[in-house]
Amino acid sequence: MSKDGRISVIITTYNRKECVQKAVLSVLSQTRLPDEVLLIDDGSTDGTESVVTQAFPQVRYFWQENRGIGAARNAGIENASHEWIAFLDSDDAWLSKKLENQINALETHPNYLVCHTNEIWIRRGRRVNPRKVHQKFGGHIFEKCLPLCVVSPSSVLIHRQVFETVGLFDPNFLVCEDYDLWLRMSSRFPVLYLDQPLIVKYGGHADQLSRKYWGMDRFRIAALEKILANGRLNKTQRTSAVQMLLKKMDIYIQGARKRGKKDEILLYSEKRKQYECLLTANDSLFSK
């Protein structure tokens, strides 16, 4: 990537007119400004449109019926004009050298099409340290992506070629849509990692998607089943994915027992048996 590589920034929001302004300002305050900024409003009813269009006329504003964050990001990708794409959730913010540092790193490592960074976590107004399971990595990180999402959408800078190869965000995932995409991406592409905190992630608020659904692992299970079904993983990747799938199913079944969800227990117990048999018997699916 050269320093004059063109970048489209996609900000997604839903009923966050108070914090979305901070997000937009953090993009417009970059030491290397993007070439365009798109804001995809996923059906806000709180007056977000008037706030954004009046305060930031340089931002390309799009409104759509509420279809979820995956569909909103996809709308941004489809409307973006440039080859390099960065995302920012409306409750997060960038530090001023985020794009500049990523561009410089990609110029030094021209074979990479994806770059992500470290981050600062703020929960309910206080800085907190991420747990060890959230540690980030670079290179071929597929196995590192299996336990949970270790690439923050707000930190990533990604070339359009990646989407052309692995597809867009899956709008059927109400949450963990990023986990699903990073599995597909990391199974095919190496990832450049900057161990620099270049974004601020704010959490703990009531409308945070991770607080909306119980049993988040059911979405990760679906993503793992999906990538196993596509037949593109190598033997090592397939084995690692099945092993993680079994762990996720154990966790989900345990949670379903606590909630008395008998149908869920039966469904996932049967699924687990099938995948365990495939792994144990070294079925032809996993020996190609």
pTM: 0.92
pLDDT digits (tens), the chain, 288 positions: 654 589 999 999 999 998 999 999 999 999 999 999 999 999 999 999 999 999 999 999 999 999 999 999 999 999 999 999 999 999 999 999 999 999 999 999 999 999 999 999 999 889 998 888 889 999 999 999 999 999 999 999 999 999 999 999 999 998 999 999 999 999 999 999 999 999 999 986 565 555 556 678 999 999 999 999 998 999 999 999 999 999 999 999 999 999 999 999 999 999 999 999 878 765 555 444
Tokens 């060890």 belong to which residue? Answer: 132
Distance CA(249)–CA(221), nearest Å, equals: 7
Domain 7-210, CATH homologous superfamily name and number: Spore Coat Polysaccharide Biosynthesis Protein SpsA; Chain A (3.90.550.10)
Distance CA(125)–CA(202), nearest Å, equals: 8
Distance CA(84)–CA(7), nearest Å, equals: 5
Indicate the Cα dihedral angle 275, 280, 285, 288, nearest 10°.
150
The pLDDT value given to residue 92: 97
The pLDDT value given to residue 207: 58
Q: Count CB neighbours of 285 within 10 A.
A: 15
Distance CA(275)–CA(151), nearest Å, equals: 27
Distance CA(113)–CA(163), nearest Å, equals: 10
Distance CA(247)–CA(245), nearest Å, equals: 5
Distance CA(136)–CA(131), nearest Å, equals: 11
- Residue 54 CA from chain centroid, whole number: 29
Tokens 């977000």 belong to which residue? Answer: 48
Instruction: Identify the burial level of 47 via C-beta atoms within 10 angstroms of its C-beta, where 0-12 means exposed, 13-18 middle and 19 or more buried.
Output: exposed
Q: Could you tell me which residues are beta bridge partners of residue 193?
A: 116
The pLDDT value given to residue 278: 76
The pLDDT value given to residue 208: 56
Region of 68 (left: φ > 0; alpha: ψ -120 to 50; beta: rest) is left
Residues in the chain: 288
Amino acid symbol at 51: V
The pLDDT value given to residue 229: 94
The pLDDT value given to residue 3: 46
The pLDDT value given to residue 282: 56
Instruction: Report how far apart the first and last C-alpha atoms of the chain are (Å, whole number).
Output: 36
Helices (H), 8-47: 17-28
Among 156, 158, 175, 157, which residue's Cα sits nearest to residue 167? 158
Helix, coil or strand: residue 118 = strand
Distance CA(7)–CA(55), nearest Å, equals: 22
